[in-house]
Every structure is written in structure tokens, then in C-alpha cells.
């Protein structure tokens, strides 16, 4: 927050508190708060006159108490612009303390499964561990992959046993820990629009879809010259690079002609964030075990 807006927030906040306090004191009846009167404020509504009695003592004291509480709170905690408060409290520090406490409390629970492999966690007697992995998946992964792990446009389906980098327990664990950076280069400037559409026509035939024969023939030549380094001569991809299999009709960004052409023309960049600094090894293993179970039922 800039210095101007910090001062603006501070002035407005304090002005409201002190302004309300001044108004209350100015309109108070001094020492006559115990007395009642038959005088009215001069207004009448539907035949009902409002008496000009002072505020009850308890109401006045309660209001002043809230003013004192508010000033003490603003002195101790953030609330006045950039002023951090005398206690130095931040939501980040509180979150870190709560997470540290939770890790300490639940450490024995995770330790119970730490010695088990992902394969062992698939056994019926370890169902509780898989359910823990499912809950952590929902908290950390479902925003991209969905609560059912079926993915979305640009986010892989984790239930179909079709993997960009491999679906072994060790690979899944490494993916969650270190993340992945997928990159499909843009070929629009190299191929031109006609070349893009020719290659798209050929790519469609790899998964059994129909395309124009002449465009497919031209596209095959260009595919072999530019695309086989990653996708292979047969178009079945390469796990080491995360290059997808183009023959199985499973598409991360859509398999229509226009979707494929857009991918070739403009490229794609997919990022799976690393979780090694967010989750412990024990937690990652439980999530990997849950994901492994989805495609190995």
C-alpha cells in the first residue's frame, strides 16, 4: 500500500472513531442520565411523540467500551494503513504456526504409512491411508484436476491411465514433488497457415479420424521433418519429454481439427507446480498412492 493510501485509511478510520465519540459526548445530558422528562424532541410520527430522554447509562458505557476496545485493537494489530501493530501479528505467521502445530500433532499418523510403498498402500488394510491421500488431493490438486481427478481443458485426466510422463509410483511421486514443465513449440511461422492445416489433417489420421487425403499426404512429410523428434515416427509420443501419444485419441487441449491446428500454430505451455516446498514426503506419497489407485482399480 502506498504512503498516500496508508495515510488515507488511517485518517478515515480514526476520524470515524473519534467523530462518533465526540458526537455521543456532545449530545449526552451530562449528569442527568438518571432523570426522565416529559419533553419531546419536537417530532411526532403517526401520533407518537419521541421523548427527549438521555441515553441509558449502560448504553453509554457499552459504547465507550467499544471505542476503547477498537483503539487498543488497532494499536496491537494491523488496521491503520501500513502500521503493522505492536504485536507484529500477520496472517502468514499465524498460518505457519498453525501448520507447524498440525504437522506435530499428525506426524505420528503420517509416519504410520511412511514406510509403506505406493503399491502396499493399495491393499485393503491400508484404505485409511488412501482416504487421507484423497482428502489431501482435494485440498491441493482438485482446483486443476477436479474433485474426481478427471481433469479439464489443459489439465490431464488422472483416471484414464494415459500418462504424459508415465504412471508408475516413482514417476507420480516425482511429478508431485518437482512439478512438470510441458512445452509445445509454435510452428505457425515455420509452416504457414496452409502447412499448419496440412499437419493437423495428418495428426487426425493418427488417431483414426478422417481427413482430406491430399492435405494428409503433405502434412505427413512435414510431420516427419518437424515433429518426430518429440512425438516419434509413429506419433506415439515420448515419456521422457512429456510429448503426448497422438494415436490414442486422448487430447489434453481438444482433438477437433481446429483445436489441433491451434496447438500446432501457437504451441502450448503447461505447468504442473512443484509441491516439495508445500507438502512433506509422507504426504506426497499418500497423494501419489491415491492417484495411482484411480487408474489401477
3-state class of 143 per DSSP?
A: helix
20 is in an annotated binding site: no
Determine contact, residues 257/218, Cβ cutoff 8 Å: no
Determine contact, residues 270/209, Cβ cutoff 8 Å: no
Determine contact, residues 180/242, Cβ cutoff 8 Å: yes
Q: Looking up cell 491441493, which residue turns up?
A: 140
145 is in an annotated binding site: yes
Q: How far apart are CA 147 and CA 134, in angstroms?
A: 9
184 is in an annotated binding site: yes
Q: How far apart are CA 38 and CA 242, in angstroms?
A: 86
Q: How far apart are CA 276 and CA 268, in angstroms?
A: 25
State phi, psi for 238 to the nearest 5 degrees.
Answer: -150, 115
Q: DSSP for 37-95?
A: -S-EEEEEETTEEEE-PPPPHHHHHHHHHHHHHHHHHHHHSS-STT---TT---HHHHH
Q: Looking up cell 497457415, which residue turns up?
A: 193
227 is in an annotated binding site: yes
Determine contact, residues 187/202, Cβ cutoff 8 Å: no
230 is in an annotated binding site: yes
Determine contact, residues 74/12, Cβ cutoff 8 Å: no
| 273-284 core/surface letters (b: 16 or more CB in 10 A; e: else) | eebeeebeebbb
Helix-, strand-, coil-residue percentages of the chain, each rounded to 5? 55, 10, 35
Of 292, 49, 50, 288, nearest to 174 (Cα)? 288
Strand partners, 188: none
Binding residues for heme c: 141, 144-145, 184, 227, 230-231, 272
Binding residues: 141, 144-145, 184, 227, 230-231, 272
Amino acid at each position: 500500500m502506498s504512503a498516500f493510501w496508508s495515510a488515507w485509511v488511517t485518517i478515515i478510520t480514526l476520524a470515524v472513531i473519534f467523530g462518533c465519540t465526540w458526537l455521543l459526548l456532545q449530545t449526552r445530558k451530562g449528569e442527568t442520565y438518571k432523570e426522565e422528562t416529559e419533553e419531546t424532541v419536537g417530532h411526532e410520527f403517526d401520533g407518537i411523540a419521541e421523548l427527549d430522554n438521555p441515553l441509558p447509562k449502560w448504553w453509554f458505557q457499552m459504547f465507550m467500551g467499544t471505542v476503547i476496545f477498537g483503539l487498543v485493537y488497532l494499536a496491537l494489530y494491523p488496521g491503520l494503513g501500513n502500521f503493522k501493530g505492536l504485536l507484529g501479528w500477520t496472517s502468514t505467521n499465524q498460518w505457519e504456526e498453525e501448520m507447524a502445530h498440525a504437522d506435530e500433532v499428525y506426524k505420528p499418523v503420517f509416519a504410520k504409512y511412511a514406510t509403506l510403498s505406493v503399491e502396499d498402500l493399495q491393499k485393503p488394510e491400508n484404505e485409511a491411508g488412501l482416504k487421507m491421500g484423497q482428502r489431501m488431493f482435494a485440498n491441493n490438486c482438485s482446483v486443476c484436476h477436479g474433485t474426481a481427478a478427471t481433469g479439464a481443458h489443459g489439465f490431464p485426466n488422472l483416471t484414464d491411465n494415459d500418462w504424459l510422463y508415465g504412471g508408475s509410483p516413482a514417476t507420480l511421486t516425482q511429478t508431485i514433488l518437482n512439478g512438470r514443465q510441458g512445452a509445445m513449440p509454435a510452428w505457425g511461422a515455420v509452416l504457414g497457415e496452409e502447412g499448419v492445416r496440412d499437419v493437423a489433417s495428418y495428426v487426425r489420421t493418427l488417431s483414426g479420424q478422417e481427413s482430406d487425403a491430399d492435405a494428409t499426404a503433405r502434412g505427413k512429410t512435414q510431420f516427419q521433418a518437424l515433429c518426430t523428434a518429440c512425438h516419434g515416427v509413429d506419433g506415439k509420443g515420448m515419456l521422457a519429454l512429456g510429448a503426448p501419444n497422438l494415436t490414442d485419441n486422448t487430447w489434453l487441449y481438444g482433438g477437433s481439427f481446429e483445436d489441433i491446428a491451434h496447438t500446432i500454430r501457437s504451441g502450448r505451455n503447461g505447468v504442473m507446480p512443484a509441491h516439495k516446498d508445500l507438502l512433506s514426503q509422507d504426504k506426497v506419497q499418500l497423494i501419489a498412492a491415491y492417484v495411482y489407485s484411480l487408474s489401477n482399480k
